[in-house]
Amino acid sequence: MRILLSAILGVLALLVPAEALKAEAPPVISTASCAWPFEFTPIGLGNATYPDTLARYWFFPFDPAWQEVTIKGAYPKARYFSLVAYDGYVPTAVAGALADVEISPEQGSSNPFAGDAGKNGAYTVTITRDQKRTASNVVHINAEDGWVFYRIYLPNRGAGKFAGVPLPDITVTGRDGQAQTLPPCRSVNNMRDLLSVIETLLPPDLHLVGGRPAEGDRIWFAAPENPPMRLLPNPHVKYLAAQPQFTYQEGRIIVIRGRMPDYPDTFHGAAVSAPATGSDKVQLRYWSLCQGDLVLPVPSVQCATDAFTPVDERGFYTIVVSDDLVQPDWLPKVAAWLPWGDPMVVPKLMLNRNMLAAKDFGQAIQSTVAKDCTFPFDLPNIPDPDKIAKAGACAEKVMAEYYPQAVWCDVDTFTSGGWQACFRAAGLTVPP
């Protein structure tokens, strides 16, 4: 039984008799009785399927009795939002997806993500079984059941977690043609229902198998050929994954360095088409590098994100991963820190996200996937480090200075000689 759910179920066992839990257990997935009953978040019970630190994912099941779902909302004040449908309660594919820029506004309204002037833009999106409907803002679902996800990344400053707008309204239409508007949920992530959801996606008998620690101090990042569908990957993101050695090396740290792609400074109110200060153009909509646990239900520990990761005068970031409980005082101001997380929860997983890369940005993760610099990765199998290394070497050639080079390093080596000393100790070339 995976560690996080074991702890949660242990708490439940103290609160509720085992017979009652068994007798009152819900079906695998309950029909949603209110709008957006579940939320994946790096905080609390919803920390599952590797959520990004600065993102929130609200979702609900698409019931077999429904013919379609109508979603009405306002464009949030954020770096990015989307609506994505997945086929199957145990996901098999992305059924359809709309990124913010693709969502047409209602007549007389505007879409700020598409550069439209105006405020208070509104939209209507339909998710339907009717494959003949091909209008804009229509997403098709192909399976009897599935999931609908509403994602928001990095709300603007002061906009709150909902990015300045309410969660979208939901109206469901049954196969009999009867329509019903779901009321707003008074709360999300009811413990019993959420555990049912997580155990559907990542059941306790999905034992992780295989895997062995990588050798040497070099840590390779590479793109999964097909990210595990059980983790509900975002179709607007491409990923690099890395698996450091299975146990933390006492007295050592992980040092990661690469060039930060140009991104929009939406946090301070700029448009998604306007690059952050000092940039020539927007190369990526969003960038992050996260530390997490490769144990079910695959929780995040913490992420470094573009807008809050310091860079040097050349535009390069340095990220340090350590087992400290708080950011260490020896960390330079020009470096970001990520905690290793619980040392008893292993193995770990690091993930680099590149979202909506510009077509002319050839050093994005998207380009490495297009050139087959990939490795096989699907749960419950733990990736083979040799295959990650081979795909990583390929990706490094494609991404050049935007590739995240990573090494294990002694703390003393870093504090006395910086990232340069760490790279030299690992046999990496240090540019002048």
Element (H, E) at 6: helix 3-15
Predicted local distance difference test score (pLDDT) of residue 11: 36
| pLDDT tens for each residue of the chain, 432 residues long | 344 444 443 333 333 343 333 333 444 566 778 999 999 999 999 999 999 999 999 999 999 999 999 999 999 999 999 999 999 999 999 999 999 999 999 999 999 999 876 666 999 999 999 999 989 999 999 999 999 999 999 999 999 999 999 999 999 999 999 999 999 999 999 999 999 999 999 998 898 998 888 889 999 999 999 999 999 999 999 999 999 988 898 999 999 999 999 999 999 999 999 999 778 899 999 999 999 999 999 999 999 999 999 999 999 999 999 999 999 999 999 999 999 999 999 899 999 999 999 999 999 999 999 999 999 999 999 999 999 999 999 999 999 999 999 999 999 999 999 999 999 999 999 976
The amino acid at 11: V
User: What is the model's pLDDT at position 388?
Assistant: 97
**291: β partners:** 302, 350
Cis status of the peptide bond prior to 404, with omega within 30 of 0: no
The CA dihedral of 376, 306, 309, 150, to the nearest 10 degrees, is -80
CATH topology of domain 218-425: Jelly Rolls (2.60.120)
pLDDT value for 431: 79
CA distance 179 to 66: 9
Q: How far apart are CA 158 and CA 155, in angstroms?
A: 8
Residue carrying the six token digits 């257990």: 25
CA angle 55, 60, 229 (to 5 degrees): 70
> How far is the C-alpha of 395 from the C-alpha of 377, rounded, in Å?
16
Query: Beta-strand (E) ranges in 34-131?
Result: 38-40, 55-62, 66-74, 78-87, 93-99, 122-128
The three-class DSSP label of residue 266 is helix
Residue range(s) in the chain whose domain bears CATH number 2.60.120: 218-425
Calpha distance 138→320 (Å, rounded)? 43
CA distance 103 to 98: 6
Which pLDDT belongs to residue 352? Answer: 98
User: In this structure, what token pair is assigned to residue 345?
Assistant: 């929860």
Our separate counts of H helices and E strands in the chain read 6, 21
The CA distances from residue 395 to 34, 222, 334, 359, in Å, are 44, 6, 26, 18
Handedness of CA 416, 420, 425, 426 (dihedral sign): positive
